Structure 1
């Protein structure tokens, strides 16, 4: 470690205390809440514009209806079905489509930058080196606890609990969308990991899970908590939506930061995981709203659904904290210690389909520390 890095580390350790960390987290939560509170104001300002567009939509639908009736054409009939929908719904579909395209573009761009070992990779290493200087015992424990919220045990517990609740309420369509969201996102992560074959900065995993792009924790937390928030916010007033969305944003962001802090992922891995997860939510959310419409309020019972998910999180986290947390913390510290004495250098990509050598990970820069925890 250079003198400048040592000086920076000393300054950081001097002011970064549990109190300041909680204060920063509370400030982030407050800013998120305030920003989301502006959404109802924006909706109110756009409402006159939407009404004006809706009048034009109704006029166009009426004019097209007479033409389609006189000369039936497939394209005209399809356009008429689109125009028969409410203008606000059409704008939401367009917004979701824009989000889907943007997230897909970001994911493709990041994959290309990583494959070419471009500027993004240098930023990844700078962020990794900066976060390495923040390592303290109490922050290690806090970040391991946070990262478990996006881990396999808690994600599976929430997924199974929500799926069981939806089936019990006979909301079969919603249950299928929920299963498709979780399983589809996981399949995408595995395919991208195998295709990119990018090694982690440090690792407690082996085999396919020793690859880092994209972050499984970031994708899983975005899809699990994000799609859950989507289901809970349907047909709810903004006084319910804003706290739910704020809590979701804070939780998902904290999980991503924990993966960076623990050295399990590069910054671009986490960004790619977020982009993939958000794209998956936009795709399935739009399909559900467009093809099926929101389920009857009583069938899903959003408030009770939230309670079911919260109970699943608390129960699974309690088990993990009681039986696994000390061992998991030690494994993360061993992985970090294995990289401390080694110079940070760009990690080359492994050829697609290759498997890391037995007993090695991180391209030989740290030992493969097998964990009995389900990998993400």
Structure 2
């Protein structure tokens, strides 16, 4: 029998862990406090954030709005700010048990009551494929294809980095919020870790939207829009399986979609900036001729 050797804990690592634990604890205490009128404020921030994203997205669709310059950068900032504000407001409501979470039990109950054998099997397959392992594998494969096309490792780095950053943000938020999963009796697949936000929804949104942005970079606007619609549809399917199987509350998957969307906005901006760099096409004329009349693909909106 192998003996387990007890090693002394480093004072530095112990101190660092203590500091991190205290920091997380203070954040948890802050967001747990439910102040009068906080529900109305959170709802206003959620609606305002959604309107910011929608308004900026529509503006970027208008003819004559260029990919570069202060206007384009400002619109991307508005999109990112709207998504970030909505995510913070939703996180606060979930942690404080606010009014926004009021529909969670009803939605969970509806899905639980409408399960059937012919749906449960495919739902399990989809949720397994959309898990952390499947997301990482698909991100690596798609990144390799993009890097091969671009003859550079940067596209793969941007795609994998975006998905990885979204997953890290999801994990940290789970720790801070500490929300319990739906009751075990409601779950088809037993999961006991923290619930908000849904890692599946976060990863699917970040991965598939980024893939649509990157693969659709040189395509006409209609085809780019089609890719984004497909990305959104796949994300919805993955998120729906989490609800159907009883693994998450509704606000969990909404939080994951918002967080993944924020990651995709940032990643899409980085990819567009790299693709538009003049020196990149100066050193590789073949790429310049392969992408005539390029338009801004970030979140699928034409420049």
> TM-score over 0.5 for the alignment?
yes
Is the 2:158–2:270 contact (alpha carbons within 8 Å) kept by the matching residues of 1? no
SS in structure 1 opposite 2:246? coil
Matched, 1:249 2:249: no
SS in structure 1 opposite 2:114? coil
Is the 2:147–2:154 contact (alpha carbons within 8 Å) kept by the matching residues of 1? no
Give 1:101 deviation, angstroms: 1.0
Q: Show the counterpart of 1:97.
A: 77
Is the 1:97–1:282 contact (alpha carbons within 8 Å) kept by the matching residues of 2? no
**Structure 2 residue corresponding to 1:182, chosen from 153, 163, 167:** 163
Give 1:276 deviation, angstroms: 0.5
Is the 2:163–2:263 contact (alpha carbons within 8 Å) kept by the matching residues of 1? no
Name the CA shift for 1:166/1:116 in 2 (closer, same or farther; >3 Å). same
Structure 2: distance between partners of 1:291 and 1:136: 47
Structure 1: distance between partners of 2:134 and 2:218: 27
Which structure exhibits the higher relative contact order, with contacts defined as CA atoms closer than 8 Å and separated by 6 or more residues?
1
**Structure 1 residue corresponding to 2:266, chosen from 276, 283, 296:** 283
Give 1:162 deviation, angstroms: 2.1
Q: Show the counterpart of 1:351.
A: none
Matched, 1:225 2:205: no
Give 1:264 deviation, angstroms: 0.5
Is the 2:127–2:242 contact (alpha carbons within 8 Å) kept by the matching residues of 1? yes
Deviations 1:266-306 (A, max 9, x none): 0111011011011011112223323652776859x99xxxx
Where does the alignment leave 5 or more consecutive residues of structure 2 unmatched? 1-56, 292-303
Matched, 1:135 2:118: no
Give 1:127 deviation, angstroms: 0.9
Name the CA shift for 1:186/1:212 in 2 (closer, same or farther; >3 Å). same
Q: Show the counterpart of 1:215.
A: 198
Matches within 5 A, 1:39-78: 43=61, 46-47=62-63, 50=64
Structure 2: distance between partners of 1:291 and 1:246: 24
Is the 1:163–1:179 contact (alpha carbons within 8 Å) kept by the matching residues of 2? yes
Q: Show the counterpart of 1:18.
A: none
**Structure 2 residue corresponding to 1:270, chosen from 238, 249, 253:** 253
Name the CA shift for 1:166/1:249 in 2 (closer, same or farther; >3 Å). closer
Q: Show the counterpart of 1:171.
A: 152
Structure 1: distance between partners of 2:238 and 2:126: 6
Structure 2: distance between partners of 1:162 and 1:298: 19
Matched, 1:236 2:224: no
Matches within 5 A, 1:1-376: 43=61, 46-47=62-63, 50=64, 86=66, 90-169=70-149, 170-201=151-182, 202=184, 204=189, 210-290=193-273, 293=276, 298=287
Name the CA shift for 1:288/1:225 in 2 (closer, same or farther; >3 Å). same
Give me the TM-score of the superposition, normalised by structure 1. Answer: 0.53
Aligned residues: 223
Give 1:265 deviation, angstroms: 0.5
Where does the alignment leave 5 or more consecutive residues of structure 1 unmatched? 1-38, 52-85, 303-376
Is the 2:202–2:259 contact (alpha carbons within 8 Å) kept by the matching residues of 1? yes
Give 1:156 deviation, angstroms: 2.1
Name the CA shift for 1:243/1:91 in 2 (closer, same or farther; >3 Å). same
Is the 1:128–1:266 contact (alpha carbons within 8 Å) kept by the matching residues of 2? yes
Tell me whether 88-97 or 261-270 shows the greater mean CA deviation: 88-97
Deviations 1:181-214 (A, max 9, x none): 12111111111111111111145456xx611110
